[in-house]
Structure 1
Amino acid sequence: MTDLATRPAPPLLRRAAPALLGYAAVRALGVVVLTLWSAARDKSALTLLSARWDALWYTRVAELGYGYEVRLPNGDVHSNLAFFPLLPWLERGVSAVTPLSYAHAGLAVGTLASLGAAWGIFAVVDLVYGRRAGVCAVLLWAVLPVGIVQSMAYTEALFTALAAWSLYAVLTGRWVTAGALAALAGLTRPVGLAVVAAVWTAAITSYVRQRPHA
């Protein structure tokens, strides 16, 4: 195990630089490929990344709040209550202080979160297995077949960033930070509840182990 637990943020960021640069290169290549594919089909890559599928539901939550429903021809009803609020809140916040639309704000949040997630993955793996393993873990995450969602206005990157840094906080004994990040993960996706449960389990286990025995 390295001494990352006591290393301040700037050195930690410099240590992660190769992983982050490699991640950014892989994801940039993916966006270039998507752009070329979209252009060949007379589609907008920006629209595909920021305003399609689930991204539309999140922007509608940001714009209209909860309670929006879509009734399909077969009678099925889809409600935006299925989508968790953290990303729409961030879209509102970013759009309020920038000229970006909700959709483009979501894309900006997703892009920044993907870098934060890559950094968090590196930090955890580096702490446990060393720098080379950390770089490899980040690159493997970058080249996942579904990795394009990391470049979209989706919650995958945001959730991964919160979960990874929550785990790093647990490993370095920062329990308040771990709990706060886990709570935010729980506001991002349903699986965030598993992060909350894991942090509570780790905290209780640590407390029991450290409590002096009678």
Structure 2
Amino acid sequence: MTDLGTRTAPALRRAAPALLGYAAVRALGLLTLALWSAARDKSAYTLLTARWDALWYTRVAELGYGYEVRLPNGDVHSNLAFFPLLPWLERLLSAVTPLSYADAGFAVSLLASLAAAWGVFAVADQVYGRRAGVCAVLLWAVLPVGIVQSMAYSESLFTALAAWSLYAVLRGRWVTAGLLASLAGLTRPVGLAVVAAVWAAAIAAFVSDRRSRSRTQTPA
């Protein structure tokens, strides 16, 4: 545990400007949403935790799968379209805290968004340096659809898992990369692309390593 803290603290200090900038941008976004909602006599918190996809996820957490909505035009919307990792985390957090499923989803999303910002920074910093890492995080924070990063949606959770999986690939930590990619695959359909990318990178690294060893062992 001490060794982990020794390695984590410098990395966190290096990422601090990016994380603080990200938190400031998202806080401004939430403040804007709160003011907009108040002007229209709406609840900003309800919009973040109990509308659209967030509502579907909380229903999965509470009732499990099998719920359907039949629209007047005959279309059927099923909660089978929503992957299970976020509802599992909502259920777990709600079981060990006083939080409701909706509150738990919001908490998971906020924590995951910070983890995602750190992961985005780590990848860009690893490849292009610290300044590029800070810029990448701030660009992600100010996306026009960035508000979903603060909603009880799976976007932030998926981004965190995908970013850290990519970072593990860059560092050659294949078991960690595979585990995180698998979790990403339990978060959103596009997570399957993360799994495929990790497998492709692992195979390419293995082939390259075999070729390097073959050249080294070949007599001159």
TM-score range, shorter chain: over 0.9
Superposition pairs for residues 173-192 of structure 1, below 5 Å? 173-192=172-191
Q: How far off is 1:74 after superposition?
A: 1.2
The letter of the residue matching 2:149 is: Q
Q: State the one-letter code of the partner of 1:71.
A: R
Q: Distance in 1 between matches of 2:7 and 2:159?
A: 22
Q: Which has the higher contact order (CA 8 A, sep 6+)?
A: 1
Aligned counterparts, 1:80-99, within 5 A: 80-99=79-98
Return the TM-score normalized by structure 2. 0.93
Distance 2:162 2:17 in 1: 22
Q: Name the amino acid aligned to 1:83.
A: F
**What is residue 172 of structure 1 aligned with on the other side?**
171
What pairs up with 1:135-174 in 2 under 5 angstroms? Answer: 135-174=134-173
- Shift of the alpha carbon at 1:9? 1.4
CA deviation after TM superposition for structure 1 residue 119, in Å: 0.1
Q: Which amino acid aligns with 1:152?
A: M
Residue 77 of structure 2: SS of its match in structure 1? Answer: strand
Aligned residue for 1:8, secondary structure, equals helix
The Cα of 1:73 is off from its aligned counterpart by 1.2
Corresponding residue for 1:109? 108
Deviation per CA, 1:55-77, whole angstroms, max 9, x where unpaired? 00000000000000001111111
Q: Does residue 66 of structure 2 align to residue 67 of structure 1?
A: yes
Map of 1:54 onto structure 2: 53
Paired position in structure 1 for 2:3: none
AA aligned opposite 2:70: R
2 CA distance for matches of 1:194 and 1:22?
A: 29
Take 1:160 and 1:10, find their aligned partners in 2: how far apart are those partners? 22
Report deviation, 1:18: 0.3
Displacement of 1:161: 0.2
Structure 2 gaps of 5+ residues are 1-5
The 1-side partners of 2:184 and 2:9 are apart by: 25
Instruction: Flag the structure with larger Rg.
Output: 2
4+ aligned runs moved over 4 Å, structure 1: none
Amino acid at match of 2:65: Y
Amino acid of the residue matched to residue 167 of structure 1? Answer: L
RMSD of aligned Cα (Å): 0.9
Partner of 1:126: 125
Matched length: 208
The one-letter amino acid of 1:194's match is A
Which secondary structure does the structure 1 equivalent of 2:69 belong to? Answer: strand
User: Is 1:200 the equivalent of 2:199?
Assistant: yes
Q: Report what 2:31 is aligned to.
A: 32
AA matched with 1:137: A
One-letter code aligned to 2:197: A
Residue 153 of structure 2 aligns to a residue whose secondary structure is coil
Deviations 1:161-182 (A, max 9, x none): 0000000000001100000000
CA distance in 2: counterparts of 1:24 and 1:173, whole angstroms: 30
Unaligned regions of 5+ residues in structure 1, if any? 1-6
